[in-house]
Amino acid sequence: MNVPANLKYTKSHEWVRAEADGTITVGITDHAQDLLGDLVFIDLPDIGQELAAGQESAVVESVKAAADVYAPLAGVVTEVNTAAADTPEIVNQDAYAAWLFKLKPANLKDLDALLDAEGYLASAGD
């Protein structure tokens, strides 16, 4: 399973990267895209939208199934990756390059509560 050590994770298969400007970048893991298969549709949140931790924030759909993407932390959406919405297959090609949205977290410290790579591997292996 491809789980980069420099990222944080949620049990619900989102990955999170802390950026230097205090925002976080969110995507779905390689394991998640593999479970879903060929992605054909991605619905992203609106810029400026305020999200609670765990709130449904985006939808990714493959040919066979639809899945919600949850906000890993509470915060405000600062940027969305329109390339992923236009060409969802880039998430299949490289799930860690094809991010979905960026958040300005209400409390950056909440990041510490997310899983590290090892924790995600253990969780996803269940």
Partner 1 sequence: MGQRDWSASIRHGNLSGTKDRGVNSQRVRPFFVSEKSFNTFAQVIDMPQKTVLNEVHRQLGAKMVDFGGWDMPLHYGSQIEEHHAVRRDCGMFDVSHMCALDVAGPDARPFLRRLIANNVDKLKQPGKALYSAMLNESGGVIDDLIVYFINEAHYRVVVNAGTTEKDLAWIAARLAEWKFKAVCIPRRDLAMIAVQGPNARTRFWQALPETRAASEALKAFHSVTVGDYFIASTGYTGEDGYEITLPASKAATFWQALLDAGVRPSGLAARDTLRLEAGMNLYGQDMDESISPLDAGLAWTVDLLSERDFVGKVALLAHPPQHQFLGLLLLDRGVMRAHQKVLVQVDGTVGEGEITSGTFSPTLQQSIALARLPLGVALGDQVKVEIREKALSARVVKPCFVRNGKALI
Which token pair is 27? 């995507």
The angle formed by the CA atoms of residues 86, 88 and 89, to the nearest 5 degrees, is 125
Which token pair is 57? 């924030």
Residue number, 77 or 95, with CB nearest to partner 1: 95
| Burial group, residue 121, by CB count within 10 angstroms (0-12, 13-18, 19+) | middle
Choice from 43, 50, 79, 116 touching partner 1 (CB under 8 A)? 43
Choice from 18, 53, 59, 90 touching partner 1 (CB under 8 A)? 59
- Taking the complex as a whole, the smallest distance from the CB of residue 41 to partner 1 amounts, in Å, to 5
Q: Is residue 41 a contact point for partner 1 (CB under 8 A)?
A: yes
Q: Which residues pair with 42 in a beta bridge?
A: 60
Q: Is residue 28 a contact point for partner 1 (CB under 8 A)?
A: yes
Q: Is residue 32 a contact point for partner 1 (CB under 8 A)?
A: yes
Choice from 7, 8, 13, 73 touching partner 1 (CB under 8 A)? 13
* Pure H helices in 66-115: 82-86, 89-93
